[in-house]
Chain A
Amino acid sequence: MAAPPRHSAMLSVSNAVGTPQSGSSDKSQTAQPPSTPQPTQGLRVPSNRKTIYDRHLNRSRNAELSRASFAYLFAEMVTYAQRRVTGIQDLEKRLNEQGYPLGLRLLDLLFYRTTTTSSSALSSSSTSSSPPNRPLRILTLLHLIHGPLWRLLFGRSADALEHSVSPDTPNEYMITDNDPLVNTYISVPREMNQLNCAAFVAGIIEGVCDGCGFEAKVSAHNQPTEMWPSRTVFLLGFGESVMEREKVLERAGIK
């Protein structure tokens, strides 16, 4: 094959870039009825032709993540959040914001996995019918967080679930974790002893609550005991609208 002139060589390079894409777009276009023309031009399929839609969501269901890599990643996340913050509150807010979208996603994943597998992971909650129900009441939601969500994230249930005893704050609930995984490898300096990096987990909880339609503010607090020095309490404060709806649903007898 003779060497092509320079301009045509450049042309062939640009063609070569275009060909695999157009080939794949042709393929996906034949799969669709012609009535819905799709902008498949920009679609790039991985070399093994497996998009995220070809992967099974339950494949990694029992897979465990390396604790070392998680600790490393989480430490980086904290460092990242710590840049240009004004104080501990701000830092916790940023960690919370990082966790929030995760909560929204986990909620869908959790329900998907319980609908597709017969061994119900939601079975510890009061309703254990095979297609799990969306939580309608606060208590169902809290059981969902305390049990299935915690097991999905940390491989065990949370340690305690309490309702605020104070009559002024009936909208406050507490979930306790005696030894949160996220704090295991975090050493907080003495001058920042207010900081609790489990604010990230609080963000996840907030995402789950919001996703279910329960507007809530969630924060993480240190409550060390003799036995559990890194014991953390997640304080969930539900909004006015949630409490009003809760009353209506209670009257209607909905669980």
Chain B
Amino acid sequence: MSYYFTILSPTDTPIFNIAFGTSKGGGDGIARFRFPDTAQYMNQFIIHSSLDIVEEAQWTNGGMYLKHIDTYPPAAAYISAFLTPSGARFLLLHQPPQLPNSGSGSGLGSSSLLGSSGNLARGSTSSIAANPTSPQTEEAVRQFMTEVYENYVKTAMSPFYKQGMEIRSPVFRTRVNAAGKKWL
């Protein structure tokens, strides 16, 4: 499983993003997306295109964690969203590893056109990686989001931080990484 996590300010400015892989089930924590390394913008493209759905969902669901909200079948990318009360959006794109011959997602035929490398099959045994919409995954993502939220609040409380500024703190990045390792 590979993850791409981004925080968007209320005015849609990306203020933080990070890519990481799963650490569960023997994963080494390195992201292996199905796009070639030169096409990493696809992650951003997919994740930002889900903003429309976030904006629809945010006025019907009062919770902070909106669960899995969007799927992009050609890349088998699943997007979960978390909204802070002050309007920042946390979006997590997760992409299950590509199986070598048979597909599990809906649109794997086209994704093999996008993806190039075939060494993505490992680490697919854990329940989180195997099924991106299972309740276990939702729970793990929720825990991850809550932990990031705690760190985000700490950032926002800093008198030197203004809303909408990029989060540059390496400590914050380490914390997000640790949360990813712990839950995903």
Whether B157 contacts A38 by the Cβ 8 Å rule is: no
* A53 & B171 in contact (Cβ 8 Å cutoff): yes
Residue from the list B58, B157, B174 in contact with A105, Cβ < 8 A: B157
Answer yes or no: A251 CB below 8 A from chain B CBs: no
Is B158 in the interface zone, CB < 8 Å from A? yes
Question: How many Å lie between the Cα of A51 and that of B146 in the bound state?
Answer: 20
Number of interface residues of B (CB under 8 A): 40
Q: Most B CB atoms within 10 A — which of A31, A39, A116?
A: A31
On whether the beta carbons of B85 and A254 are closer than 8 Å, the reply is: no
Identify the stretch in B93-101, B108-116, B148-156 within 8 Å (CB) of chain A at 4 or more residues.
Answer: B148-156
- Contact present for A211 and B157 (CB under 8 Å): no
Question: B63–A136 contact, CB under 8 A?
Answer: no
Q: Using Cβ atoms and an 8 Å threshold, which residues of chain B touch A35?
A: 30-31
- Asked if B175 is at the interface of the complex by the 8 Å CB criterion, the answer is yes
Instruction: Tell me which residues from 18 to 54 in chain B have a Cβ below 8 Å from any Cβ of chain A.
Output: 18, 20, 29-31
Interface string of B125-154 (1 = CB under 8 A from A): 000000000000000000000100111111
Cβ proximity bits A102-145 to B, threshold 8 Å, 1 near / 0 not: 00110111111001100000000001000101111000000000
A166 at the interface (CB under 8 A from B): no
Query: Interface 1/0s, chain B 57-97, versus A by CB < 8 A?
Result: 01110111000000000000000000111110000000000
Q: How far apart are the CA atoms of A38 and B31 in the complex, in Å?
A: 17
Which B residues are CB-close (under 8 A) to A110? 85
Select one of B85, B150, B172 contacting A134, CB under 8 A. Answer: B85
Q: Is the CB of B171 within 8 A of A109?
A: no
Known: A108-B86, A211-B87, A212-B87. A40 touches B170 (CB 8 A): yes
Interface size on A, residues (CB 8 A): 39
Complex Cα spacing A33 to B29, Å? 8
Given known contacts A43-B170, A53-B154, is B162 in contact with A135 (CB within 8 Å)? no
Does A57 sit within 8 A of B, measured CB to CB?
A: yes
Partner of A211, one of B85, B154, B170, B174: B85
Given the known inter-chain contacts A108-B85, A109-B157, please indicate yes or no for A136 contacting B62, CB distance below 8 A: yes
Least Cβ–Cβ distance between A82 and chain B, in angstroms: 22
Do the beta carbons of A28 and B170 come within 8 Å of each other? yes
Known: A33-B29, A51-B171, A212-B85. A111 touches B157 (CB 8 A): no
25 contacts between A and B (CB under 8 A): A33-B30, A36-B18, A36-B177, A39-B170, A40-B170, A51-B171, A55-B154, A101-B162, A105-B156, A108-B85, A108-B152, A109-B153, A110-B85, A111-B64, A112-B153, A134-B58, A134-B64, A135-B62, A135-B85, A211-B10, A211-B85, A211-B86, A211-B87, A212-B85, A213-B10
Q: A residues engaging B (CB < 8 A)?
A: 28, 31-33, 35-36, 38-40, 43, 51-53, 55, 57, 101, 104-105, 107-112, 115-116, 127, 131, 133-136, 211-213, 245, 249, 252, 254
Besides the known contacts A133-B64, A135-B85, 5 further A-B residue pairs in the complex with CB atoms under 8 A apart: A33-B20, A35-B30, A52-B154, A101-B162, A211-B86
Closest 10 CB pairs of A and B: A133-B62, A211-B86, A38-B170, A111-B85, A112-B153, A107-B86, A108-B153, A40-B170, A53-B171, A107-B85
